[in-house]
Every structure is written in C-alpha cells, then in structure tokens.
Amino acid sequence: MTRLARWIVAAGAALGVATAADDAAAFCRTTTCSPKSDACRIVDGCARSGAPLSWPVMPIPYRFHGRAPERLDRDEARGAIRLAFARWTEVVCPGGRRTSLRFKEMAEIPAATPRGKEPFGIYFRDDGWPHDDSDETLALTTHYFGHSDGLIRYSDIEINSGEKEFTLRDTEKGTDLESVMTHEVGHYIGLAHSPEPRSIMAPSYCESNARCDETKELARDLGADDVAAVCALYPPGGTWKATEAAPPACTVTRAPGEGSGEPLAVVGLLGVVLAAGRLRRFAGGGA
C-alpha cells in the first residue's frame, strides 16, 4: 500500500454511506482510492473515486498506550488529547443541534505491548520515529479498513515525541500537542487534509499565521470548513451500531526488503492507509 503525505479526498454525505462526491465541497474525506493509482480520479489534488472511509460504530473507541511520554507530564498530555477528541464532539451544527459524533476512552494498552498488537491505540514514539520524513512529521494516523466498503475496522495514532518537542501550556512556545492531536482526530474520524488554510485539517501545522500568531487556543480551534465536515459526516440525530468489543482478526504482512516495520498490506478484506494523518511541521512559517 502506498505511503501518502497529502491524501485529500472528496466530501461525502452521512457516515457509512458511500455517495457521489461533491466537487464543490472544501473539506475532504479519505477514500479507499490511492491518489498514486492510475485508476483513481484526482481533481485539484483530491481523490474523487473510491469508497469514503467511515466508522460503522459509535462511540468510536480510542486507547492510551501505557508507556508515558518521557518529556511530557503523563496526566497533562492525556488531558490535552482528551480535549482534542472532545472538541470535535462539541460542534453545534446548523439548526442548533449537536453533532452525533461520540468517542469512548477504552482500557489502557499495557506499556510493554508494541504497536499493532492492540487496536485503537495512541502511542508516543519516544524511542525514535519508525517512518520516513522524521524531520518534518509531527504525527501519523493509520487506518485499517475494508477494501470494498471503506468501513474502518480500527485506527491508531502515533506522535513523533522522540524527534519533536511538544508543549502543553498556553504560555509555552513550541508545537502545541493539543493542536496537533485535534488535527489527528480529524483524520481518525475519516477526514483528509483540507485545502482551506484556516482549517485545523490543513496539511501543515500552523499553515495559516492567523491561526497561530495570537493564542494557542485559537490554533486549536476548528475552522468553518471543519465544522461543516463533522456535521456532514456525523449529522445530529444520526444512529449507529454500538461499539464492538474488538475488531476482526487479521494478519499483517510486510513487503520484502522493507525495513521500517510498517504494515504494507493486511491479508483478507482489510486495507491500510499508512499516512493519512501525516502532519507536516511548518509550511513557510514557524510557531
């Protein structure tokens, strides 16, 4: 499966329904179609074909890995990540009703468990970044999904804490963990990078100086594009299946000669998006 640095895809309708893409939509969804495939229809950098990725259950699970980050306070870091998840669920859609998106924090993954052995994990990569572009990448979201239906079986998030220095407090200068995680949660729910520079889903951290030159709180906010996205994918009053206890069993395989240890394919009906959530550090500016 191809690595993607900027996988931008078309907006769809409600979660779990693969409808025709709306080419006029500013926000984009991740689909099963790789932009590097000749069979994939690309318009303005966005994949316009393939099934949009979607979660078939609600609430959507996430789990902290038990190993605490070495350079951040464990409880404060987890608090920032919880706020990032909550920010998406608190959106009030047109008509005054709250989006139907919900998350549930599940049991912690044991500290000794490597990534890939347990689903829905959030991992601080203190020992080094096992992917390419470690000098630029802040975080990475990986999806495992059905090839034909785009239904997400499970996902996880990795934070490049070994290569990058993150901050937790409004008064500290540096890369704000909560802002980065708000972006990654957008990928976690099925969004791709947005062409709108004021969107939290812009492909680079603080791509719009207006987001980051004032306060950390402003940098963490969802843009109008993000609000439109979450209300379209998770409309008020949406009904979903209850969260399953565990994803389907699968076997991970690796391409010969690959040294990164990243899964390139999943045997059976699952596919994998390796870098749907790759967030660049800067785009013509600093923070």
- Beta strand 152-159 with 121-124 is parallel
What pLDDT does 35 receive?
58
Give the relative orientation of helices 74-89 and 177-188 as an angle to the nearest 10 degrees. 50
Prediction pTM value: 0.79
What pLDDT does 249 receive?
38
What pLDDT does 46 receive?
64
Per-residue pLDDT of the chain (287 residues; tens, 9 = 90+): 222 222 222 222 222 222 323 334 578 888 887 656 667 776 765 667 788 888 988 999 999 999 999 999 999 999 999 999 999 999 999 999 999 999 999 999 999 999 989 999 999 999 999 887 777 889 999 998 888 888 999 999 999 999 899 999 888 877 899 999 999 999 999 998 888 888 899 888 876 566 666 677 778 999 999 999 999 999 998 877 777 644 443 333 222 232 333 332 222 233 444 444 455 543 322 22
Q: Which residue has the tokens 């010969």?
A: 256
What pLDDT does 274 receive?
44
One of 3.40.390.10, 1.10.1740.10, 1.20.950.20, 3.30.1330.30 is the CATH number of 8-273, namely 3.40.390.10
